[in-house]
Amino acid sequence: MTRPTYRLADIAARFGGSVMGDAETKITQIATLDTARAGEIAFLANAKYRKQLERSQASAVILSAADADATTLPRIVAANPYSYFAKLSAFLNPLQGYAAGVHPTAVIAQSARIAPDAHIAAFVTVGEGATIGAGSVVMAGCIIGEGVEIGANTRLYPRVVVYQNCVIGSHVILHSGVVIGSDGFGIAMEEGRWLKIPQIGRAVIGDHVEIGANTTVDRGALADTVIEEGAKLDNQIQVAHNVRIGAHTAIAGCVGIAGSANIGRYCRIGGGAIILGHLQVADQVEVSSGTIITKSIREKGTYTGTFPFDDNHAWRKNAAQLRHLDDMSDRIKRLEQEIETLKEKSQ
């Protein structure tokens, strides 16, 4: 398949920025500084990669004003090269289009409402009373429960499961294996046995949310679990019942969020972090990878709680000493007091 070609002048006219060098340079694809070849445009978002820029075979490059003189290649000077790259890459690599219609193997309940221009692939099941909005794509093997609402231009990759009565907004992307609205982990002990607590809330996903493969979002126990607009979740994340994730928050893979935690807007949660239940996390908080959040965070900023790895023998020694820090602190205070007493007596 022949790819469309765009001049640097065309790209700058569409996305902004200023062209330095030959504005007639033709571009068909985007690539890294190391791998780019003729017809491809690369980007420099960090000055530490200038060495790669010097040897790059790209036809052109996107960079900031601070790096504009670091190369003689044709270039687009942009305020934010990384976001410029993201927009240009999306333009050069649009999502695959799908023809409107329902595959003959799909099982569609009689009361379900599907927009005429939606695409329903093979072996999809859509329950009673469910609605699927205009331009949405539901790929093979997805299961849409009773009463589910899916907005416009939303895309469900193969084998997504959305339980009954959950709400998915518009322009949402759910990758393969995502489960929305499974029961939260609600149990109560009585006479030596666990009793299941019915989970009667919903999971509500806002517009422009993206959720990675095999991530699970539990439904609420009583109120709803909510992921607000523009949030981005990586693969294999657990979102427990009654959690709220604020707008435009980004969460990396393998994060675990316990029940009723409330995460603010514009937060960034590193991979493998754990947020305990019923905690509040303020807006614009960054949590470093592997950190365990055990108490609420009231102010924006970066929070880190990792314990450095070491060889096993040294780690065990340090961990043993760490367990006795409180006792050691008390002993040091007593010694300091004794030293002060001795000083006073010697004067």
Q: How far is CA 138 from the centre of its chain?
A: 21
pLDDT at 264: 98
Other CB atoms closer than 10 Å to residue 227's CB: what's the count?
28
- DSSP 8-class letter at 346: H
Asked which of 35-44, 69-78, 237-246, 325-334 is least confident by mean pLDDT, the reply is 325-334
> Which residues participate in catalysis according to the annotation?
241
90 CB burial (10 A radius; 0-12, 13-18, 19+): exposed
pLDDT at 277: 97
Note the pLDDT tens digit of each residue in 85-121: 999 999 999 999 999 999 999 999 999 999 999 999 9
Note the pLDDT tens digit of each residue in 289-347: 999 999 999 999 999 988 778 899 998 988 888 888 888 899 999 999 989 888 888 77
Q: Which three-class secondary structure string do you get for 292-309?
A: EECCCECCCEEECCCCCC
